[in-house]
Each structure stands twice: as structure tokens, then as C-alpha cells.
Amino acid sequence: MTTISVALGDRAYDVVVGRGVRSQLAELLPRGVERVAIVTQEAIDVDVDPGVAYDVFFVPAGEGAKTLSQVEELCRAFSRAGLARSDAVVAVGGGVVCDLAGFAAAVFLRGVAYVTVATTLLAQVDAAIGGKTGVNLPEGKNLVGAFWQPSAVLCDVEALSTLPAREWASGRGEMAKYAFLSTALPDAPATPLLDLTLEEQVARCVAIKAAIVSADERESDRRMILNYGHTLAHALEAAAFGPDARWDLRHGEAVAVGLVFAAQLAHRLGRIDEARVALHRKVVAGFDLSADLPTGASAGELLGFMARDKKARHDLTFVLDGPDGVEPVHGVSPTDVSAVLTEMGSAP
């Protein structure tokens, strides 16, 4: 078992990684909690015991569940259940549950505590940590949300034993990202992420994210590196959002494509050499992921979504590798972006 602190002063909290750690839920609830609202999905078969009275509320599966109307339903349900400001919300699930439950906790009664029991690899290495909550709009992913830090996060790797293959792929895409962010740790580890056990991989990813969030909670600059590979990934997801989706990409699968795209863009801008691009491809392949753009992807359409990405600052902003490591780069030329997308096989 490994415990990693997210050092945020009076909002600091622990992330506990290991086998069977969900049994610690009751111990990690804030003091004074008398009732808990457990938010989960019907397909999630992970038992938790908060040690106090609780109600269970189910949210739909899939990215389409992340809506303002679903947050309203949760808040109304919390009210009917008598949840008080001194009580807590417990999210049991993956990224969708974390985002919905966390945002509902942030806005209900102007903020109640919440704890996350992360049940997917994606949630354990990324989504459950850092306090970013939110829902989607038709115009893009996670455009409405709040920074609301949890009181604790439990990453029980036993819960991953029944994870479907596509969910593994989604988590591995985020892991591939962290393979290039190890310099965020005070003592950069020598052992490559791919060479660690699963529990060690999760713990290292958590440690990297905790260090970055502790240094830049509100994403003023440094925390933006956590979006490595995500600008294209969000565009790919947005282009396929809705009932007329032309391709099916899980978040981590889209991130894997975005990582190789970001490497090729950095190479085009003279920031890294071909060997570094090859390393990105090697890491992505090592996590059994594809770096290929989906068939039918259009450079023009993807550029439009990238310009509306929530990380943009009235220009095209990317997180790119370089001589000083991964960092935000503002004012990237649309011509360069389009050229790289074309190199990767996109339509105009």
C-alpha cells in the first residue's frame, strides 16, 4: 500500500493506492459526517461500506451522462435524502462518475465534501485526483465545471480485475502520458514506467499528478502539462460526440494519438529530434495502443475544435515536448498543425 499526499494546505488530502484499500473508506470520511450519498453506476460491482447511513444514486454510463441536467437530478436527489452540508458524497466509479459526483458535490449547498473510490485505471491514475470536476456541452467536453478537491481518494487495484479491455486501453493512454512527465517529481525515477508492476505504475502516476497539482492547483501554467496529448484528443472526442459519431475512441485511446501528434508537432517546430518522436511511438505501442488517426478525420474540423478547447487562450495552445521537457506553448501556427495532421493521414 502506498499513500501519496496532495499538498494543498488546509485542502490537502491523501491518495491511497493498493489492494483492498477501499476498506479504509469509513476511516477517511471527514469528521462529523452522519450520512453519505454514494454515486455510482449500475454496472459497477464494487462494494463499499462508509460506516454511516447512506443512500445510493445511480447515474447513466458513458460520456453522454455528463450533462447539467444529470447534475440537477443528483442535487435534487441529495436534497430529498436529507444530505446536509456536514455530510459527504462518495463517488464509486470511473471518470464519468468522478466528474458528475464531484461537480454535484461542489455546487450542492455551495459545497459538500466528497471522497472517491476509483474503480477504473483512468480514474486511478488521473481523473479522480486534482479536483477538476465538470460536465459537457454540445460545444465541447468539460466546458462547465469547478475545482473542488476531494477529501480522499482510494485507488483499489483489486477493482481493476474485471475491467473490460477498452477501459484498460483508456487508462493506459493516460499512463503513456505520465511516462513523459516523470521530471515533475523531485527525484526523477530511473525505472521506466512500463517496467513497473501495475500497483507501482498507478502509484507513480498518482505521485506525478499530486506533485503537479500541489504546485499549480488552478492550472495557471504548470498544471497545463497534465494535458499533454489532450488538445488533439479532446478534438477527436468532440468530433465524434453525439448520435452521429463517426468513430469510437475511448479517452485514453484518443490521448495516445494525441501524444504522437504532439511529438510530431514538436519535431516540426524544432523542439525535439526524430529519436524523441520514435520514443513516443515506442511508449504508446508498449501500452498496446494505436497512434493512428481514425478514418475520416478532417484537419480543418479538428482545428476548429482545438481552437475552442478550454485550454486555448485566444490562440492555438499546445503542451509540447522540448529541450526543457514538456511545457505549454502558445501561439502555434494553424498551418503547422494542419501539416502534421496531414502527415498522419487526415483529410483536408
Q: What is the CATH number for 78?
A: 3.40.50.1970
Say if 148 falls within a structural domain. yes
Weakest mean pLDDT among 44-48, 184-188, 242-246: 242-246
Say if 118 falls within a structural domain. yes
Q: Which of 167, 190, 214 is the last residue of a domain?
A: 214
List of long-range contacts for 243-250, beta carbons under 8 Å, 24+ apart: 246/294, 246/296, 247/294, 247/295, 247/296, 247/297, 249/294, 250/166, 250/167, 250/169, 250/170, 250/173
For residue 161, is pLDDT > 80?
yes
Same domain flag for 142 and 120:
yes
Please report which confidence band the pLDDT of residue 243 belongs to, taking 50, 70 and 90 as the band edges.
Answer: low
Verify whether residue 311 is a known catalytic residue.
Answer: no
Do β-strands 2-6 and 13-18 pair in parallel, antiparallel, or remain unpaired? antiparallel
Say if 34 falls within a structural domain. yes
Same domain flag for 204 and 244:
no
Containing domain of residue 284, as a range? 228-343
Same domain flag for 257 and 186:
no
Verify whether residue 227 is a known catalytic residue.
Answer: yes
Q: Which of 187, 214, 241 is the last residue of a domain?
A: 214
d(CA 90, CA 81): 14
Same domain flag for 172 and 249:
no
Same domain flag for 246 and 154:
no
For residue 335, is pLDDT > 80?
yes
Q: Which member of 22, 66, 132, 172 is catalytic?
A: 132
Say if 91 falls within a structural domain. yes
Verify whether residue 234 is a known catalytic residue.
Answer: yes
Same domain flag for 166 and 314:
no
**What average pLDDT score do residues 41-67 get?**
95
For residue 312, is pLDDT > 60?
no
Say if 221 falls within a structural domain. no
Q: Which member of 27, 31, 80, 110 is catalytic?
A: 110
Q: Which member of 22, 230, 250, 280 is catalytic?
A: 230
Same domain flag for 158 and 11:
yes
For residue 43, is pLDDT > 90?
yes
For residue 39, is pLDDT > 60?
yes
Residue 3, H or E segment? strand 2-6
Say if 219 falls within a structural domain. no
Verify whether residue 218 is a known catalytic residue.
Answer: no
Q: State how many domains the chain has.
A: 2
Q: Which member of 223, 250, 267, 280 is catalytic?
A: 223
Same domain flag for 190 and 45:
yes
d(CA 252, CA 344): 18
Question: What angle (nearest 5°) sits at the alpha carbon of residue 116, between those of residues 20 and 56?
Answer: 95
Same domain flag for 279 and 256:
yes
Same domain flag for 266 and 329:
yes
For residue 183, is pLDDT > 70?
yes
Q: Which residue has the higher pLDDT, 79 or 184?
A: 79
**What average pLDDT score do residues 318-337 get?**
95
Verify whether residue 66 is a known catalytic residue.
Answer: no
d(CA 98, CA 133): 7
Q: Which member of 22, 141, 177, 209 is catalytic?
A: 209
**What average pLDDT score do residues 47-63 get?**
95
Verify whether residue 209 is a known catalytic residue.
Answer: yes
Say if 139 falls within a structural domain. yes
Please report which confidence band the pLDDT of residue 109 belongs to, taking 50, 70 and 90 as the band edges.
Answer: very high
Q: Which member of 174, 217, 237, 253 is catalytic?
A: 174
Verify whether residue 73 is a known catalytic residue.
Answer: no
Please report which confidence band the pLDDT of residue 122 belongs to, taking 50, 70 and 90 as the band edges.
Answer: very high
Verify whether residue 310 is a known catalytic residue.
Answer: no
Q: What is the CATH number for 239?
A: 1.20.1090.10
pLDDT per residue as tens digits for the range 197-217: 999 999 999 999 999 999 999
Q: Which member of 227, 250, 253, 267 is catalytic?
A: 227
CA atoms within 13 A on the CB side of 223: 17
% the chain with pLDDT above 70: 98
Same domain flag for 165 and 306:
no
Q: Which of 188, 214, 240 is the last residue of a domain?
A: 214
Please report which confidence band the pLDDT of residue 219 belongs to, taking 50, 70 and 90 as the band edges.
Answer: confident
For residue 314, is pLDDT > 80?
no
Say if 195 falls within a structural domain. yes
Q: Which member of 22, 172, 204, 234 is catalytic?
A: 234
Same domain flag for 16 and 146:
yes
Q: Which member of 219, 237, 253, 280 is catalytic?
A: 219
Weakest mean pLDDT among 206-210, 243-247, 324-328: 243-247
pLDDT per residue as tens digits for the range 162-181: 899 999 999 999 999 999 99
